[in-house]
Amino acid sequence: MIALGVVLLLSYLVGSIPSSIWVGKIVKGVDIRDHGSGNAGATNTFRLLGWQPGVAVLTIDFFKGFASSLWISQLAYFIGSGPVSLFEFWSLVPFLSITCGIAAVVGHMFPLYANFEGGKGMATAAGMLCGIEPVSVGIAAAVFLVVLLTSRFVSLASLVAAFVYPLVLVALRYGYGWDIDGSILIFAGFIGLAIIIKHKGNIKRLLNGTENKISSFKPAVGWLNKEEKPQSGS
């Protein structure tokens, strides 16, 4: 159990790296949480700072989850005798990958290095899931891009991808005979549902026609002169 505690702590610390906050301070000398939607994530960085800082934040946040679920989780085998799965039906490899990935997502949402005020964890969760099973994430990512480019709604693209992701895993296992642990299917269902619930405000705005679109990949103009944060946006 000591090995499990160590890798969970390491994953949380990696997830706590507040990339959007640090990039915002480096590029513009501002705390990105004080502007735009107020979310410390890649979407708000894209809107306020442009595509280059946005891609940097997205990449870092993605690899926080990816590294935790794929690599940091494996360190448990080199610490003592290694951890033991808490449930007989949950094999050790997916258990370590999922728990370490979750620790990274929690770190992103409640970062130790930024007063526990982080983002929604979408990119970090995507990286975590990619470390666990990359093909399904790749398909969900393709769906995300298609919806984003056709609708210009980041929130709608996230919702559709979250709905599609567990269905893809089910299709891969039962339709194509892929060896995917049953616990991953259950976890994927919870992840998809959690993402949809997390976007309940966005769903209301989509239905009301008030949700913000991504109009371009250029930085927003004049936002540094605004003292108040808008209440809408993702």
Q: Please report the pLDDT score of residue 38 as a whole number.
A: 87
5 and 109 in a single domain? The answer is yes
201 and 86 in a single domain? The answer is no
Q: Which amino acid is at 9?
A: L
Q: Please report the pLDDT score of residue 212 as a whole number.
A: 81
Q: Are 93 and 31 in contact (CB under 8 A)?
A: no
Q: Are 232 and 211 in contact (CB under 8 A)?
A: yes
In the predicted structure, residue 19 carries a pLDDT above the cut 80: yes
54 and 93 in a single domain? The answer is yes
Q: Which of 71, 105, 124 is the last residue of a domain?
A: 124
Instruction: Tell me, yes or no, whether 225 lies in a domain.
Output: no
Instruction: Report the domain count for the chain.
Output: 2
In the predicted structure, residue 229 carries a pLDDT above the cut 60: no
Domain range for 115: 1-124
Instruction: Tell me, yes or no, whether 224 lies in a domain.
Output: no
Instruction: Tell me, yes or no, whether 223 lies in a domain.
Output: no
Show the tokens assigned to 40: 């410390």
Q: What is the mean pLDDT of residues 155-164?
A: 94
Residue 58 CA: distances (Å) to CA of 90, 115, 145, 160, 170 = 31, 21, 14, 19, 27
> Tell me, what DSSP letter sits at residue 174?
I
Please count the other Cβ atoms lying within 10 Å of the Cβ belonging to residue 9: 14
In the predicted structure, residue 134 carries a pLDDT above the cut 50: yes
150 and 205 in a single domain? The answer is yes
What is the band of 226 on the pLDDT scale with cuts at 50, 70, 90?
low
Read off the pTM: 0.86
66 and 118 in a single domain? The answer is yes
Show the tokens assigned to 165: 């992701």
Q: What is the pLDDT of residues 182-225, one digit of tens each?
A: 889 999 998 889 888 878 888 999 999 998 887 766 787 777 76
119 and 6 in a single domain? The answer is yes
98 and 166 in a single domain? The answer is no
Instruction: Tell me, yes or no, whether 86 lies in a domain.
Output: yes
Q: What is the 3-state secondary structure (H, E, C) of 123-146?
A: HHHHHHHHHHCHHHHHHHHHHHHH
The structure tokens 């990274």 sit at 104
Instruction: Tell me, yes or no, whether 30 lies in a domain.
Output: yes
Show the tokens assigned to 190: 């919870």
57 and 109 in a single domain? The answer is yes
Q: Please report the pLDDT score of residue 85 as a whole number.
A: 52
Q: Which of 91, 124, 157 is the last residue of a domain?
A: 124
Instruction: Tell me, yes or no, whether 220 lies in a domain.
Output: no
Q: Which of 97, 124, 151 is the last residue of a domain?
A: 124
117 and 19 in a single domain? The answer is yes
Residue 181 CA: distances (Å) to CA of 93, 94, 188, 189 = 10, 7, 11, 13
